[in-house]
Structure 1
Amino acid sequence: MSVAVIFPGQGTQEPGMGLPWRDHPAWSVIERAEAGLGEPLGRLLTDAPAEQLARTREAQLAVLLTSLVAWEAVREQVSAPAGFAGHSLGQVTALIAAGVLDVEDGVRFAARRAELTQQAADAHPGKMAALLGATLDQAHEACGAAPDACWIANDNAPGQVVIAGTPDGVDQGGGRAKELGVKRATPLNVGGAFHTPLMRDAAEALARDVLPDVRFGAPSAPVVSNHDGNAYDDTEGWRDRLAQHVAVPVRWRPSMRTLAGLGATTCLEIGHGSMLATLAKRIPPKIPVQGVATPSDLPALEGVS
């Protein structure tokens, strides 16, 4: 069995999702993260209400930290992964897990990334919608109804493409999608048009003000990049990729195919929920996904390497 390790992104957060880990030795990662960021963080995983977790910064830190605790609990059992990948924010988690970023730098970067993308969203208001049942061609044609105002933001899986843009642009794109036979356009509860050109301000600020000071290390296994679905085993290239990442689509479908090409015959989804397992069932070659969300999932990992 060859294992790839994948991490979820924003949207999987839920109040109390870290409580099962509170007394586990892996909780020590939270203490490292708090020291690195200089603020209390544990409450985001244990006590934060849904309203707080709806905010971009809090949501992303909560998802990141829950995944890092779970990874700390399993990493010694996954001695030679075929590769790492993460969906949107999860790409930052994947880079920490692979050793490209250390915990402290990774958490600081994630916090600034969340702050800058929300600032860009406030300056350039937008929204996102999932086109359920849509093909990529249909999504491209739907976005053509609002040039420079609606774009593909996530290519998640066959029949699950997310568009984003200005409010009017997404409305026009969603309307055109329905004319093309798409089942429905479901609005997403997010704070902006992430992974579109409306995030260029954030991409430029990350490249100019944040990433020059980030230290990068060699990965323990290739990390698949969201922006093109390719696997990378370099270090410095992530300085550019992480800046671009916030303003270009998440190409999750090709990312999963790349993991299969690296030899992965199963994936471990590390963190809360099963979003990535659900998507994997629709992406050929349909790699099986095993979740690690709570300590109760750990005994099932016997034999994983």
Structure 2
Amino acid sequence: MDRIPIGLVFPGQGTQKSKMGEPWRETPSWELTGEISEVTGEDLAELLLRTPDEQLRRTDLAQLAVFTVALVAHAEAVRRDAFGGRVVACAGHSLGEYAALTAAGALPLRAAAALVAARGRAMRGAAEERPGTMGVLVAAPVDEVTALTDRVRAGGADVWVANVNAPGQTVVSGSAEGIDRIEAEAPSIGAKMIRLQVGGAFHSPYMDPAADRLRIALENTAFAAAHLPVVANADADVHTGADDWPELATRQLTSPVLWEPSVRTLVGPLGCRRLVELGPGRTLAGLIRRIAPDTEVVSLDGPAAMD
């Protein structure tokens, strides 16, 4: 039997869409939606089957919906033994880190769901206190994007690098003025901007109030003393115990998601030869193919993909 080393990866906010639970509703793993609903006070079946796209863009609802689909997909893949190898590590993009921590055994499902609910509420509240937005710059190296954000910020407009997603794809975050100025100056570094439909300036100092609120919840949560390796967004390094996560998950809200370096950690030091994406859509698979084109990547975005 093929037992190659597998890394599991989980997508984040922005991958949600209306009726995204439909492919999973007849699987045994769908029962997890009831448990998550009980913990969070939100009707996850309603969110995943009947809530329109516009409402699903609300930060707190989007995060719960994506997290739930990711965990249902993971449970179903485990039940079917669908990975095709030995799972050796996990990672998640932004919100997806909570699904990764659950899959790695660092958090039980109910504790992770409670944290995701707290995180979504905190981020939504911070965005209402200090509105902002985000955009993705394509076709420019991350060091040039960083230099551009530094220049714009020195000129008095708030903007920072928020996600280092893949070669030629860097997300920036900040005030509406800051994003406007980045868009205007993007051609100077050979880039163009695509605006993102998001509810705030995530992964920037605009999320400081959310980090303060989330830190309390994290510090009151028991993480496992030892678990499967998880590559953290905040430092792209490998973590296998409890002590680091309250600080890492708090820092993640206000600092860049280092996704490209995280994938390089998975396929480099951790030796993953296949990366399996679990959750809605195939966004991470597209990024991974640009980061590590020689690594096999599979998206288990529905039960049919597990057959």
Please, what TM-score do these two structures have when normalized by structure 1? 0.94
Shift of 1:279: 0.4
Contact 1:144-1:173 at 8 Å conserved across structures: no
- 1:57 corresponds to 2:63: no
Gaps of 5+ in 1: 300-305
Q: Structure 1's 37 and 130: CA in aligned 2 closer, same or farther, altered over 3 A?
A: same
- 1:15 corresponds to 2:23: no
Shift of 1:142: 1.5
Provide the C-alpha distance between the structure 2 equivalents of 1:192 and 1:67, rounded to a whole number of angstroms.
23
Provide the C-alpha distance between the structure 1 equivalents of 2:107 and 2:152, rounded to a whole number of angstroms.
38
Q: How many residues align?
A: 297
Report the AA paired with residue 51 of structure 1: E
**Among candidates 173, 180, 183, match of residue 164 of structure 1:** 173
Q: CA RMSD in A?
A: 1.4
Correspondence for 1:69: 72
Report the AA paired with residue 301 of structure 2: A
Shift of 1:131: 0.3
Shift of 1:20: 1.2
Correspondence for 1:235: 242
Counterpart mapping for 1:265-276 below 5 A: 265-276=273-284
Shift of 1:285: 5.2
The sequence identity of aligned pairs, in percent, is: 38
Report the AA paired with residue 226 of structure 1: N
Please, what TM-score do these two structures have when normalized by structure 2? 0.93
Provide the C-alpha distance between the structure 1 equivalents of 2:258 and 2:301, rounded to a whole number of angstroms.
24
**Matched position secondary structure for 1:82:** strand
Contact 1:21-1:27 at 8 Å conserved across structures: yes
**Matched position secondary structure for 1:233:** strand
Correspondence for 1:298: 306
Contact 1:134-1:159 at 8 Å conserved across structures: yes
Gaps of 5+ in 2: none
Report the AA paired with residue 145 of structure 1: R
**Among candidates 233, 244, 255, match of residue 262 of structure 2:** 255
**Matched position secondary structure for 2:200:** coil
Counterpart mapping for 1:169-208 below 5 A: 169-182=178-191, 184-207=192-215
Report the AA paired with residue 273 of structure 2: T
Contact 2:134-2:198 at 8 Å conserved across structures: yes
Provide the C-alpha distance between the structure 2 equivalents of 1:121 and 1:235, rounded to a whole number of angstroms.
29
Q: Structure 1's 18 and 68: CA in aligned 2 closer, same or farther, altered over 3 A?
A: same
Shift of 1:176: 2.1
Counterpart mapping for 1:103-182 below 5 A: 103-147=109-153, 149-182=158-191
